[in-house]
Structure 1
Amino acid sequence: MADMMTVQIVTPDGLKYDHHANFVLVKTTDGELGIMTNHENIIAPLDVHEMKVRRIDDDSHVDWIAVNGGIIEVQNNLITIVADSAERERDIDVSRAERAKLRAERDIQEAEAQHRIDEVQRAKIALQRALNRINVGSK
């Protein structure tokens, strides 16, 4: 079927997502990238973002996935994302993500007060990931 793409997301825990789609929206380090069938082949680094996958069965059937960075490869209607972690909207524990957000905010304040720049950066990344999970999990 020429009007669809296969979307696969792989993490160190294995294959996290494998479905057919007719549209995918991701956020690369250079900005948003909308992908439709027969898109030119590319490889690009991804930001922490909420990925949108419009499934082929119905235009209103959209999967939202919290992707924490990684790499996207588009080749011949196969989209492969390799990421440290990725969670579908239905699999996100929002209360756990809220606790991670609070913990990251506290860690940022403590690290800034003690001028520990590396720890500030790590905590900011943790905060960004928690916020991403909250946004996706609340859809």
Structure 2
Amino acid sequence: MDYMTVQVITPNGICYDHHAYFILLSTVDGELGLLPNMIPTIASLKIDELKVRRIDDEKHVDWISVNGGIAEVRDNLVTIVADSAERDRDIDVTRAERAKRRAESELQEAEIKRDVDAAKRAEVALHRALNRLRVSGHR
């Protein structure tokens, strides 16, 4: 088989399901490029973008914002299970910008109050918003 099936699954169901020649994802240990006929692999994902080079056209690339999760590769099926994920075309940029501003404000407030837990939550929220904005830029 010269391609893989890619499925991105969230608690809301399957948000992406296509065939691909190549997938690039960011794991907690670094970037991982996937090609057809890879050995079985399981990896923890970071909050980052997922790049999928589709089989219908060499230049057709889908970008997906993934907020952490797990990737499993087996028998040319790549399954990504994440808390949330959005394709570039589905990202509401205005909403992502509001989330970014809100997270920046919460981070600043947490730093003033020296609230380490609130600062960590705000940093994660900021990272997610920035990731969504970066992915939306691929449209």
TM-score range, shorter chain: over 0.9
User: 1: CA distance between counterparts of 2:51 and 2:31?
Assistant: 11
TM-score (norm 1): 0.98
Contact 1:44/1:71 (8 A) holds in 2: yes
Cα deviation, 1:88-121, whole Å, max 9, x if unaligned, reads: 0000011110110010000000011111110100
Equivalences, count? 138
How well do the aligned residues superpose, as a CA RMSD in angstroms?
Answer: 0.5
Unaligned regions of 5+ residues in structure 2, if any? none
SS at match of 1:64: strand
Give the corresponding residue for 2:130.
131
User: Conserved in 2, the CA contact under 8 Å of 1:94 and 1:138?
Assistant: no
- CA contact 1:40–1:74 (8 Å) conserved in 2: yes
State the AA in 1 paired with 2:81: V
Over 6 Å off, 4+ runs: none
Matches for 1:1-139 after TM superposition, within 5 Å: 2-139=1-138
Can you give the 5+ residue segments of structure 1 that lack an aligned partner in the other structure?
Answer: none
Distance (Å, rounded) in 1 between the aligned partners of 2:55 and 2:112: 50
Which amino acid in 1 is paired with 2:116? Answer: I
- Cα displacement (A) at 1:81: 0.3
- State the TM-score, normalized to the length of structure 2: 0.98
> Equivalents in 1 of 2:103, 2:134: separation in Å?
16
